[in-house]
A and B are shown apart, each in its own frame.
Chain A
Amino acid sequence: QVQLVQSGAEVKKPGSSVQVSCHVSGDTFSSHAINWVRQAPGQGLEWMGGIVPIYKISEYSEKFQGRVTFTTDESTTTAFMELTSLRSEDTAVYYCARDGYQYDVLTGYKAFDIWGQGTAVTVSS
């Protein structure tokens, strides 16, 4: 059974950076994209971008371009999201989510079939 397990809650000062990890177990790590989605308190879902480990290619939402970086570590089957220059509006729950498309065999669908439990990031002075 595939699971995505994220790192714990973070409290950060404005202007600092945060890194959230997402450990993937029970599956072929490299062949599925890992997406990052955030949800501000009481708000909807916002896609930040994603990374395809097998190609080490990332795509970033224009809104976060220049402030966010996605990386992966295949040895630990973990994906990372780093967000810099934090401001209060970045207070949100951050989710990693696997998409169902398999980039090694080019089949499947890109809806987000498995999600991490979420990581709460609070930005406050």
Chain B
Amino acid sequence: GDSVTQMEGPVTLSEEAFLTINCTYTATGYPSLFWYVQYPGEGLQLLLKATKADDKGSNKGFEATYRKETTSFHLEKGSVQVSDSAVYFCALTSSNDYKLSFGAGTTVTVRA
């Protein structure tokens, strides 16, 4: 079945540091890939998405590229801020299914 594996946290960084969260997937067909972010006490928000190979999703300084050859969708940000402290979830949905398969989530803490 479909599955997503993302790097375990927690990740602690200083402001302006570079952030990478690795995400790899297993899926049949041609999945769509997503990164969701959950700020403390809130629901999940869609951060970015990519629907086909080589697409790059971007939002709020975050980027992720859909790499079919490596089945990966790594999240990156060049300079993090304290406000980026949150839990980040990688997810996919297959072309023939409605459901989102989520990774376990990675907790990121950015210190001033």
A, B assembled together: no
Tell me the A residues contacting B by CB distance below 8 Å: none
Tell me the B residues contacting A by CB distance below 8 Å: none
